[in-house]
Amino acid sequence: MSDRPVLLLTRRLPEAVEARASRDYDALLNADDSQYDADALISKSAQADAILTCSTEKFSAEVIEQLDARVRAIATFSVGYEHIDVAAAAARGITVTNTPDVLTDATADIALLCLLGAARRQHESTAMLRESRWGRWDATSLLGAHVTGKRLGILGMGRIGRAVAKRARAFDMEIHYSNRSQLSAELEQGATFYQNPEDMLPNAQFLSINCPSTPETHHFLNADRIALLPDGAVVVNTARGDIVDDEALIAAAKSGKVSGIGLDVYEGEPNFHNDYLDLPNAFLLPHIGSATVDTRDAMGFRALDNLDAIFAGNQPEDKLT
């Protein structure tokens, strides 16, 4: 028996991350990446001093209350932590950590990809090629939304929102944002702040959703708020699917109120509202915001840094509880 802490990994992780986990812990890997439901998480916790998990596993209050008493920490391989009831973890003295910073750039890149893909009608354009429907070049088809000089409204101006703004400035977009609090002038960089998101929406010719999923942001983008957007707005969501009311957004895309949608995240993913697939003006990705080799390694290393700190008796950098 080694005296190293036992670390339960609930998902398959990048090779370099698993190698480091196995080097420094008695790592219980999920080699075939099987799905751990609540019962599995509870029963496997009997062997674990800490759990390294992903946003795909739900640590509800009910699960957390039944975790084995030996579990000291839950480190999530994600910046979002809506899948963990942090109050329940705190009540049991379990430290929870996430992985901010390291996925900011990759996720902001995907937001711009969604924005441009939706604005410039990537889905219809590529389908035309793939289905051999490309005829003579013409001056009037596949005309998209022009980005230069347009107003981009960013909902949630944390690290990722600011990285989206930085990229959008390179496209000469005008930045508007709504956030819990106004940023310093240095971080704001001339962007226009709205305390009330409803006041920003009429200015958002493009809207990028970059806020966390919380009870307050659940279905934020509903029919009433979509009505506040300028006609023909483009909507991008790379944060969490449940911030959008799917029925309302799909109806707006069908009516033309919204001219393009760029989504990387969906409520209930990997099951999602199938009507999105029928929308010609939707640019759809399967939650790949952080999916680069460098980023996924960095996320795993950041989660392990946090666990190393906890087992060394120090404060982890990304302590949530």
**Distance between CA 122 and CA 124 in Å, rounded?**
6
Residue 156 interacting with ligand DGY (CB under 6 A):
no
- State in angstroms the smallest separation of the CB of 152 from ligand DGY: 21
Q: In the complex, what is the shortest distance from the CB of residue 139 to ligand DGY, in angstroms, rounded to a whole number?
A: 40
| Residue 55 contacts ligand DGY per CB under 6 A | yes
Q: 8, exposed or middle or buried, with CB in 10 Å at 0-12, 13-18, 19+?
A: buried
Count of residues near ligand DGY by CB under 6 A? 7
Cβ 76 to ligand DGY shortest distance, Å: 8
Bridge partners of 194? 178
Q: Applying CB under 6 A, which part among 31-39, 75-83, 215-223, 268-276 lies near ligand DGY?
A: 75-83
Give the residue, chosen from 289, 295, 301, 306, that forms a contact with ligand DGY under the rule CB under 6 A: 289
**The binder of ligand DGY chosen from 78, 179, 217, 237 (CB under 6 A):** 78
Q: Write out the DSSP string of 172-217.
A: TPEEEEE-SSPPPHHHHTTPEEESSHHHHGGG-SEEEE-SPP-TTT
Q: Is 75 in the site for ligand DGY (CB under 6 A)?
A: no
The 8-class DSSP code of residue 171 comes to: T
Spatial CA neighbour of 30 closest among 69, 1, 56: 56
Instruction: Give catalytic residue positions.
Output: 240, 269, 287
Q: How many CB atoms lie within 10 A of CB 65?
A: 13
By beta-carbon proximity to ligand DGY, the closer residue of 36 and 194 is 36
213 forms part of the interface with ligand DGY (CB under 6 A): no
What is the rounded CA–CA span in Å between residue 286 and residue 275? Answer: 15
Q: Would you say 260 or 289 has its CB closer to ligand DGY?
A: 289
Least distance between ligand DGY and beta carbon 265 (Å): 7
Query: Cα-flanking dihedrals φ and ψ of residue 258, to 5°?
Result: -105, 125
Q: How far apart are CA 35 and CA 56, in angstroms?
A: 9
- The interface mask with ligand DGY, positions 80-99, x = CB under 6 A, is x-------------------
Minimum distance of ligand DGY from residue 160's CB (angstroms): 9
* Nearer of residues 238 and 321 to ligand DGY, judged by Cβ: 238
Q: Which of 3, 31, 26, 28 is nearest to 15 (CA)?
A: 31
State the residues that interact with ligand DGY by CB under 6 A.
55, 78-80, 103, 289-290
